[in-house]
Amino acid sequence: MSQHPLRTLIETCDAAISRRDFDALMAFYAEDAALVVKPSMVVLGIPAIRRAFAAISDYFDGRLEVTQGAMEVIEGADNALVIMETRLRYPDGHGSWIDENRRATYVFRKEADGQWRCTIDNSYGTALLVAVP
């Protein structure tokens, strides 16, 4: 069975995050996309998103790993809403690793060149409703 093209795309993005290839990563974002860096902090546009990913990676000492679990895609009107189990793994600063699972929500748009690009990257999903103070 072939997998949904957006799963392949997200795998490519997560691999780029893990190896700190932010140029490759940015090819999959719409120019004025939004990234939820953390609850109540959203950045807009590719330059700011690139800086945020670099800062996040630095924060985890360049050792953040992102992989994918279960996924649902709903497509409508050249948008796609991806509901996804996103798995983060990073050092705890004391020699072992922390595993964190999120239920993410990503919005994509099919652009004029036929490519899907991310318009809204919210790895916190509906947890935003409780996470914001």
The site for a second copy (CB under 8 A) is made up of 30-36, 42, 44, 70-72, 74-81, 83-85, 103-105, 107, 109, 117, 119-120, 122, 125-126, 128-129, 132
CB 102 within 8 A of CB 127: yes
Residue of 67, 86, 84, 85 whose CA lies nearest to 14: 67
- Please give the distance of CA 107 from its chain centroid, rounded to a whole number: 10
Closer residue to a second copy in complex, CB, 61/72: 72
Shortest distance, position 124 Cβ to a second copy, whole Å:
9
Q: Show the tokens assigned to 45.
A: 């546009």
Closer residue to a second copy in complex, CB, 24/128: 128
CB 89 within 8 A of CB 97: yes
Shortest distance, position 62 Cβ to a second copy, whole Å:
27
